[in-house]
Amino acid sequence: MKNKGTLGRRSFVKTTLTAGIGAPMIVPSRVFGANAPSGRLTMGCIGVGGMGTTNMQKFITREDVRIVAVCDVDRLHRLNAKEIVDTKYGETHTCGPFHGCSHYNDFREIIDRKDIDLVLIATPDHWHAIPAIMAADAGKDIYCEKPIALTVPEGRAMCEAVRRNGTIWQTGSWQRSVENFRFACELVRNGRIGRLETVIVSLPTGSEIGPQPEMPIPEGFDYDFWLGPAPWAPYTEKRCHWNFRWIMDYSGGQLTDWAGHHCDIAHWGMDTELTGPVRIEGRGDFPSDGLWNTAKSYRFECLYENGLKMTVVNDAQEKRGIRFNGSEGWVHVDRESFDAHPKSLLTSIIAKNEIHLYKSTDHWGNFIDCVRSRAMTVAPIAILHRSVTIAHIGNIAMLLERPLQWDPGTERFINDPEANRMLSRAMRSPWGI
Amino acid sequence: MLSQAKPFSRPVFVSTINSCETLLYCSWKGCTMFNTRYRYKYGFVLCFFVFNLIFFTRQHVSAEDMDRVQNSLKLIPSFRFGDSRAALTEVETFIRSTNDIEKRAWLENEFVRILNSDVTYDCIDFICRQLRVIGTDISIPVLEKLLLDNKTSDMACYALLPNSSPAAGKALRDALKKTTGKARIGIIYSLGERKDHECVDELVSLIFDESTKPAPDDAKPEEMEACKIAVETAIASIRALASIGGKQAGHALSRAKVHENQAVRTAASPAFLKWADTMVQNDNGE
């Protein structure tokens, strides 16, 4: 008879892996700031275009972080980023001697460097999964822009890699570190508007553009690498850099671009951060011609198991932001506005014995603090994966133009093989995860 | 030529029910103006009529729709990037508008006919994207041919990956043995994602192939390139085995952790952890 106290091998593997303590067994030296004269953390930046340099500038001012390498497939971007770093560190001699920031075309050169502790990923969405998983497997902690990934399965693979490796992960969903958004969610979670009934999430309206001609690839732009795992397509200016957002091969439009902000805040207030809807239905207006093919206008409804309903629309239909509607009032919050009914809610005090949500006042600082303490960040991958999943399945529901049932546990549609076929995509060789 | 009403299918039924919920309710409420004696009799008849009208109308693809699709299909073989994609959108709209098995089979056969003719790459790209969603065994033979061509292999994988048919898996496995280089790497990742256990032997052999040994310093450029491709193939095989799981895969990954090639060793360690995850999820850890 088996001793009840014995932990069988299967149970051991299952327990340790699911608890995330199976690996690594060695605590990273960056926890103690070891091997660095100043205890400083080193960072490599992958993707230093618009959002990449914006994020990089948040870290460059920190005394406890040193950016030692930048990477971008556009030589202009990476040389620009290198100049920013070299100039900053060159003028502040208190940082000690600085021999120049390295720059690479291939992100793997950053991943392979043993002296780099942290990685900042600000590439287009279709380039999130591969470097993130490789960085996690290489033992680096990661700050990655939202949305988490191009598809639900990619996001899940990233979550699992982060869990397996004990990676500290911060998503670029900085609204979680803004007082108004947290306070709005605390009002809702503490019942200030009564029983929460519906949530309306209003995001920016999409765009369209006509057919575009094939163009010569600009000098210094490694276009084939930029395409990476996405299907091959001729180069045209309106495909790349900022405009990747409007093409389904690389992103999911305004919907996925903003789901990591407003849908995430909605989940935070709804207390559904680690789950998802069970039913989704809606309509979208997708361009019928031209290069860009993501939804311009959209409206879909998500029904949750607890009876809550989230409606996601573009801002031509509702005021942008998140509106929580309860049985006794409502709260509306956006970056520039915060309103409620009754008005007294705006000055309500959350008592000590009430629900207080994760407080962060500096999103980038929160990441560094958590790297040292190994605590969970304010925007961990497991939660933000769920937020963007709403956008992914919303896009599928709108493309199929019929209601879909979703299982948030298995992350599959129920009884709908066609919808499930649209969840994942083969990557262009030689890329894969 | 008119289409026929579609056989009953759950997604269409649910969608139709949702769409005409309001209309049925109004119909029923309208019947309340009748006195009780006739209310239920005429009310049910009216609702039944309205429901069927909407249900079968949704499935009805008109002659005009079919003409438009057929005209669009004539333009697709010569489609090139930069052209208007109105014709492509017409075909996509047609696919979305009907779950009629016969109509989709007809369209898939048309796709096969087009792919077997002289077409542009952009046409192949478009059709493979549609087959990703609606492809059945009908299109597998033509996709099998595309798998063997370096230029079209990626899009063939794109179409075959989510096709759960055993024939799709066989097509990928057969192509695994006939391809080299990047085409083979793409097929390996697709097999991994499909968790295809039948390709494990082949994948293991690719990990420990002679050509993965580190190339000598004085190797010629073509030898270095061949080694590079062999290593990328081995790494893809390692990752695929991690997704597939199973004892044999685990043994291979364990051996790969002491492979002669550094890059293979580096890929093997995290893959082994992922394999362990896969085993737990499959609940067959031993």
Tokens of A215: 């163009």
Cα(A20)–Cα(A395) distance, integer angstroms = 32
- Which residues 82-101 in chain B show a CB within 8 A of chain A? 82-86, 89, 96
pLDDT of B169: 98
The neighbour count for residue A83, using CB atoms within 10 Å, is 13
- For B132, the domain range is 61-194
- Give the integer Cα–Cα distance in Å for A80 and A86: 10
Q: For position A4, what pLDDT does the model report?
A: 37
Contact assignment for B134 to A426 by CB distance below 8 Å = no
Instruction: Give the closest of A232, A288, A289 to B154, CB-based.
Output: A232
Contact status of B7 with chain A (Cβ, < 8 Å): no
Ranges of each domain in chain A: 9-175, 178-356+383-421
A161 contacts chain B (CB < 8 A): yes
Question: What was the pLDDT predicted at B62?
Answer: 82
pLDDT range class, residue A3, cuts 50, 70, 90:
very low
Closest by alpha carbon to A302, among A266, A355, A334? A266
Interface of B with A in 11-70 (CB under 8 A): 11-12, 14-15, 18
Nearest CA in chain B to A21: B273
Taking the Cβ of residue B221 and every Cβ of chain A, the question of whether any pair is shorter than 8 Å is answered with no
- Of the three residues B60, B79, B97, the one that is the final residue of a domain is B60
Mutation test of the interface with chain B: which of A18, A156, A303, A402, choosing the one with the most B Cβ atoms within 10 A? A402
What is the number of other CB atoms lying within 10 angstroms of the CB of residue A231? 17
Q: Single out the residue of A118, A141, A121, A140 nearest to residue A131, CA to CA.
A: A121
pLDDT of residue A18: 41
Q: Report the pLDDT value the prediction gives residue B11, as an integer from 0 to 100.
A: 43
What is A178-356+383-421's CATH number? 3.30.360.10
* Residue of chain A minimizing CA distance to B132: A421
pLDDT tens, position by position, A103-114: 999 999 999 999
Does the global pTM surpass 0.90?
Answer: no
CATH 3.90.1010.10 describes domain A9-175: no
Confidence of residue B9 (pLDDT cuts 50, 70, 90): very low
Distance set, CA A71 to CA A48, A49, A68, A212 (Å): 7, 10, 11, 28
Q: Please report whether residue B227 resides in a domain.
A: yes
Do B56 and B145 lie in one domain? The reply is: no
Count how many domains chain B has: 3
- CATH code for position B87: 1.25.10
Residue B3: pLDDT over 70: no
Would the CB atoms of B182 and A429 count as touching at under 8 Å?
Answer: yes
Contacts B192 to A, Cβ<8 Å: 432
What's the Cα-to-Cα distance from B147 to each of A361, B80, B136, B156, B207, rounded to whole Å? Answer: 52, 21, 16, 6, 21
Q: Which positions in chain A touch B239 (Cβ < 8 Å)?
A: 432-433
Rounded to an integer, the average pLDDT of A59-84 is: 96
pLDDT at A25 over 80: no
Q: A39 falls in which pLDDT band (50, 70, 90)? A: confident
Q: Count Cα atoms within 13 angstroms, Cβ side, for B231.
A: 18
3-state secondary structure of B143: helix
Chain segment A293-334, per-residue pLDDT in tens: 999 999 999 999 999 999 999 999 999 999 999 999 999 999
Q: B168 with B69, same domain?
A: yes
Q: Which of B60, B68, B46 minimizes the C-alpha distance to B16? A: B60
Task: Tally DSSP H helices, then E strands, for chain B.
Answer: 15, 0
Q: Are residues B103 and B122 in the same domain?
A: yes
CA dist list (Å): B197 to A160, B184, B244, B248, B278: 22, 17, 6, 10, 13
Does pLDDT of B30 surpass 70? Answer: no
- Pick from A200, A171, A178, A219: which is nearest to A73 by CA? A219
Q: Is the pLDDT of residue A33 over 60?
A: no
Contacts of B283 (CB under 8 A, 6+ apart): none
Cβ separation A415–B270 shorter than 8 A = no
Mark whether B216 and B170 lie in a shared domain.
Answer: no
Specify the pLDDT at position A164.
97
The answer on B174 and B66 residing in a single domain is yes
What is the per-residue burial (b if ≥16 Cβ within 10 Å, else e) of B3-40? beebeeeebbebbbeebbeeebeebbeebeeeeeeeee
Which of B18, B162, B277 is facing A424, going by the closest CB pair?
B162
Q: What is the dihedral of CA A130, A132, A137, A138, to 10 degrees?
A: 110
Which of B84, B158, B277 is the closest to A426 by Cβ?
Answer: B158
Do B237 and B183 fall within a single domain?
Answer: no
- Give the mean pLDDT of A120-126: 98
* pLDDT tens digits for range A187-241: 999 999 999 999 999 999 999 999 999 999 999 999 999 999 999 999 999 999 9
Confidence of residue A98 (pLDDT cuts 50, 70, 90): low
Q: Which of A167-176, A212-221, B95-104, B247-256 has the lowest mean pLDDT?
A: B95-104
Which range of A133-142, B3-12, B277-286 scores highest in mean pLDDT? It is A133-142
Q: What is the mean pLDDT of chain B?
A: 86
Choose the closest CB to B158 out of A161, A400, A425. A425
B109 plus B181 within the same structural domain: yes
Chain A positions in Cβ-Cβ contact with residue B185 (cut-off 8 Å): 429-430, 432
Q: Do B65 and B189 lie in a common domain?
A: yes
Q: State whether B43 and B165 are in the same domain.
A: no
| pLDDT at res. B136 | 98
State both tokens at B54. 């909407």
Q: Can you give the three-state secondary structure of chain A, one letter per residue? A: CCCCCCCCHHHHHHHHHHCCCCCCCCCCHHHCCCCCCCCCEEEEEECCCHHHHHHHHHHHCCCCEEEEEEECCEHHHHHHHHHHHHHHHHHCHHHCCCCCCEEECCCHHHHHCCCCCEEEECCCHHHCHHHHHHHHHCCCEEEECCCCCCCHHHHHHHHHHHHHHCCCEEECCHHHHCHHHHHHHHHHHCCCCCCEEEEEEEECCCCCCCCCCCCCCCCCECHHHHHCCCCCCCCCHHHCHHHHHHCCCCCCHHHHHHHHHHHHHHHHHHCCCCCCCCEEEEEEECCCCCCCCCCCEEEEEEECCCCCEEEEEECCCCCCEEEEEECCEEEEECCCCEEEECHHHHHCCCCCCCCCCCCCCCHHHHHHHHHHHCCCCCCCHHHHHHHHHHHHHHHHHHHHCCCEEEECCCCEECCCHHHHHCCCCCCCCCCCC
Residue B53 sits in the same domain as residue B83:
no
Residues of chain B positioned with their CB less than 8 A from the CB of A165 = 270, 273
Residues B177 and B146 in one domain: yes
pLDDT, position B111 = 98
Using the 3D structure, point to which of B60, B82, B97 is the last residue of a domain: B60
Question: Distance, in angstroms, between B196 CA and closest chain A CA?
Answer: 15
B72 and B54 part of one domain: no
Assigned domain for B200 exists: no
Chosen domain end from B170, B194, B218 = B194
Q: Which two tokens stand for residue A255?
A: 């919907």
Sign of CA dihedral B263, B264, B269, B275: positive
- Cβ <8 Å between B193 and A426: yes
Quick one: average pLDDT of B50-77? 77
pLDDT tens-place string over residues A339-383: 999 999 999 999 999 999 999 999 999 999 999 999 999 999 999
Is the model's pLDDT at B12 over the cut of 50?
Answer: no
Question: Within a domain: residue B202?
Answer: no
Q: State residue A96's pLDDT score.
A: 60
Beta carbons within 10 angstroms of residue A3's beta carbon: 6
CA atoms of B88 and B114, how far apart (whole Å): 14
A428 neighbourhood in chain B, CB within 8 Å:
154, 186
The pLDDT assigned to A204 comes to 98
Q: Give yes or no for residue A99 having a pLDDT over 60.
A: yes
Q: How far is CA A382 from the centre of its chain?
A: 10
Give me chain A's average pLDDT, please. 92
What confidence tier does B59 reach under pLDDT thresholds 50, 70, 90? low
pLDDT over threshold 70, residue B13: no
pLDDT at position A20 over 50: no
**pLDDT reading at A82 higher than 50:** yes
Q: Give the pLDDT of residue B64.
A: 86
Chain A positions touching B182 (Cβ under 8 A) are: 429-430
Residue B1 counted as domain residue: no
Q: Do B81 and A417 touch (CB under 8 A)?
A: no
Mean pLDDT, to the nearest integer, of B173-179? 97
**ipTM of the predicted structure?**
0.91
* Structure tokens given for B10: 């759950």
